[in-house]
Structure 1
Amino acid sequence: MIQIEFTTEDVARTRFALSPLWEVVASVRVLKGADEQGLHQRWTRHVRRELAGSELDFGPLFDLVPAPGRLPRGSGLPSFLCPPPVTPLPSLAVELAGLRATSPELIRTTSDVPPERIDALRADPSAALGRLSELIEGYWELALAPYWSRILALLESDIAYRARRLVEGGAQHLFADLDPQVTWDAGTLQLAHRSVHGPRGLDSRGLLLVPSVFVWPRIFSVLGETWQPALRYPPRGVGTLWSPRPVPASEALCGVLGRSRALLLAELAFPTATVDLARRTGLTSGGASQHLTALRAAGLVSAHRSGRKVLYVRTRAAETLLAAAESN
């Protein structure tokens, strides 16, 4: 059990943030077997197929993320790979810029890099981190970008809920239902941990709370001196993230968008190619393509290339529109 002791200054500096780079790392853990309960099975099935069809070799990225059951003391992740974000909602590009700017000294003193990767990293950290960043970008486009609107909506919803809890009852109320492995008692946050125990101070830096869809059923803490202490935890509702949610094309939405475009939006919960959308909706491929172009121009659909295919998926704006139509 870790006991994190809060001062008044620590409470005042506690904040929330999201981290696309951490979601990359945590999702790689899932692909390497950290999903024994099958929570992410639908996502895993789609993404394994996309990664297998890619021309990129993701070995240098996957090798840096330890498989479940092989975690040494602490998280077992190289400390430079996914530092806690310094802004509330950084883009992946911003976080990768920070990764590329990692000091060579930090690279050379990191102990959690596997032997097959350590020589290249230490010999030329700048070049190695540049190649790693390019691989992460490629992985992101295949594995996370098509699903990011759905993931982001869940993460932001959790932060909004936590903020209300803080306003209503202070830190005790905020942490009361954060996770079964987290308890708050008299100014001390207690974290269940398999190998690390004892009190930890925050040194007036506060605690950074980072919801993450790929960490359940675990929590991850970063309590070193290099960055602001952070706690990565699963958001509320993560169990429903990949559940099939068929959205009927409501008459109200058909009246605004037209029946064909409303039908297409209803089918786009997961990334789908034009030919498959045409088959499901009864449209011709040419007709579906024209409607998708219009929906994309309106910001309701995003497109992602996967090999020779282009996959379409609903954006956050479309999710909001569908939810509003469904509630009326």
Structure 2
Amino acid sequence: METQLSFSTADLAQTRFAVSPMWEVVTSYRVLHAGADAGPHRRWAAQVRPRLVEAGLDRGWLAELVPPTRYVADFLNPTPGSPFPTLDTELDAILRTTAAQLESDLDSLADAAPPGSRPAARLRVLREAPEAALEKIVAEIRAYWELGLAPYWARVRDVLEADVFHRARQVAEHGVAHVLNELHESVTWDAGSLRLVRRHCTLSRDETGAGLLLVPSAFAWPRVFTRSVPPEPPQLAYPARGIGTLWEPRTTAAAEAVAAVIGKSRTLLLTELDTPASTTQLARHSGLSAAGVSQHLTALRDAGLVTAHRAGRSVLYARTTVADALLSAGAV
């Protein structure tokens, strides 16, 4: 099946890029919910999936709104008003979802459900008491963000921002049409139209707003996602460049030099934090006492080298991009 989106000169002029935290919420949750091979995200999924189950987030609101296949509720991906919106900004937009949008999304979810299945109780509540339900959905998204994305966000955001800056340069050098033609194997640009093959949703200019919003995503791989909610511009979330190495261990070429400045114990903790970990895990892996680890982490956090994120009953610590740069200085 092929979908075609026509472009006028005005549409091309209004084509823009944005990095969206909510697109990463939706696409990453779908990776976990699908339960199949997570592809380039296997390392991340192995860490996050047990936390998802422990917190009960594998059977909550997101499980109903983001099925492992088929349609995803459009209201979860409001149109970003800026190139780099915050999660809070997008959650505020979700809370302002209109009744008409919710009705449309719930109808689409029902249409895409397996034949003979009954609407889930949560979706009935969303239809009958939308304001209270939206508050619960936003709370669940925050909980998922803290355990599944916040500890990794600096790393993910770097990939997404690098993609935007790369394609912005390509636009300046070759034009928008060239960039559109290189987004994904299923997307081609031809004679004023963007063609998407193997699409199961309708995406036509008659049913969308002007322009096009292009959203790089770490977790959309291996496909593209679209959102079409008039009068807003259509959105196309595509796999960002560089996701193949996203979860590879970061180099620590300068560890000895860093240790001479901040000490061996703190440097050891930074190298252990190539993946987010709790105080208990760090104590077990490093051989340091839990009290010592806690003291060092406080100092590293004050220096902007680690961040802390609540994940259920635990607190996960993650290395910042500043720490990554320190530890990789001098790497070939």
- Identify which of 267, 271, 274 aligns with 1:262: 267
Judge conservation of contact 2:32–2:38 (CA < 8 Å) in 1.
no
Aligned to 1:99: 94
Aligned to 2:294: 289
Tell me, what secondary structure is at the counterpart of 1:247? coil
Change (3 A) 1:322 1:174: farther
Unaligned runs of 5+ in 1: none
In the alignment, the residues of structure 2 paired with residue 198 and residue 88 of structure 1 have an alpha-carbon distance, to the nearest angstrom, of: 23
- Identify which of 243, 250, 254 aligns with 2:255: 250
Aligned to 1:77: 72
Aligned to 1:314: 319
Shift of 1:238: 0.9
Aligned to 1:298: 303
Shift of 1:189: 2.1
Amino acid at match of 1:112: S
In the alignment, the residues of structure 1 paired with residue 251 and residue 262 of structure 2 have an alpha-carbon distance, to the nearest angstrom, of: 18
Mapping 1:1-328, distance limit 5 Å: 1-33=2-34, 35-36=36-37, 38-54=39-55, 58-68=59-69, 71=70, 76-110=71-105, 111-114=107-110, 115-116=119-120, 117-196=122-201, 200=205, 205-323=210-328, 325-327=329-331
Unaligned runs of 5+ in 2: 111-118
Deviates more, 1:187-196 or 1:223-232: 187-196
Judge conservation of contact 1:3–1:199 (CA < 8 Å) in 2.
yes
In the alignment, the residues of structure 2 paired with residue 192 and residue 147 of structure 1 have an alpha-carbon distance, to the nearest angstrom, of: 32
Change (3 A) 1:176 1:259: farther
Tell me, what secondary structure is at the counterpart of 2:75? coil
Shift of 1:177: 2.7
Judge conservation of contact 1:51–1:142 (CA < 8 Å) in 2.
yes
Number of residue equivalences: 321
Tell me, what secondary structure is at the counterpart of 1:210? strand
Shift of 1:226: 3.6
In the alignment, the residues of structure 2 paired with residue 141 and residue 198 of structure 1 have an alpha-carbon distance, to the nearest angstrom, of: 33
Shift of 1:221: 1.6
In the alignment, the residues of structure 2 paired with residue 203 and residue 262 of structure 1 have an alpha-carbon distance, to the nearest angstrom, of: 52
Deviates more, 1:268-277 or 1:47-56: 47-56
1:75-126 deviation line (CA, Å, top 9, x unaligned): x122222223222111111111111111122223331245113321121111
Amino acid at match of 1:242: W
Shift of 1:34: 6.7
Shift of 1:46: 1.2
Tell me, what secondary structure is at the counterpart of 1:189? strand
Tell me, what secondary structure is at the counterpart of 1:304? strand
In the alignment, the residues of structure 1 paired with residue 175 and residue 57 of structure 2 have an alpha-carbon distance, to the nearest angstrom, of: 47
Change (3 A) 1:285 1:326: farther
Q: Would you tell me which structure has more helix in proportion to its own residues?
A: 2
In the alignment, the residues of structure 1 paired with residue 257 and residue 10 of structure 2 have an alpha-carbon distance, to the nearest angstrom, of: 51
Amino acid at match of 1:167: A
Shift of 1:244: 3.1
Judge conservation of contact 1:302–1:312 (CA < 8 Å) in 2.
yes
Amino acid at match of 1:128: A
Tell me, what secondary structure is at the counterpart of 2:72? coil
Change (3 A) 1:197 1:56: closer
Judge conservation of contact 2:208–2:234 (CA < 8 Å) in 1.
no
Change (3 A) 1:198 1:144: closer
Deviates more, 1:192-201 or 1:279-288: 192-201
In the alignment, the residues of structure 2 paired with residue 306 and residue 175 of structure 1 have an alpha-carbon distance, to the nearest angstrom, of: 38
1:23-68 deviation line (CA, Å, top 9, x unaligned): 1111121112175453222211211211222266852221111222
Amino acid at match of 1:278: A
Change (3 A) 1:290 1:196: closer
Change (3 A) 1:275 1:120: closer
Judge conservation of contact 2:217–2:238 (CA < 8 Å) in 1.
yes
Shift of 1:248: 4.2
In the alignment, the residues of structure 2 paired with residue 34 and residue 9 of structure 1 have an alpha-carbon distance, to the nearest angstrom, of: 42
Q: TM-score, normalization: structure 2?
A: 0.87
Change (3 A) 1:197 1:135: closer
Shift of 1:259: 2.8
Shift of 1:246: 4.8
Identity of aligned residues (%): 47
Amino acid at match of 1:104: A
Q: TM-score, normalization: structure 1?
A: 0.88
Judge conservation of contact 2:188–2:195 (CA < 8 Å) in 1.
yes
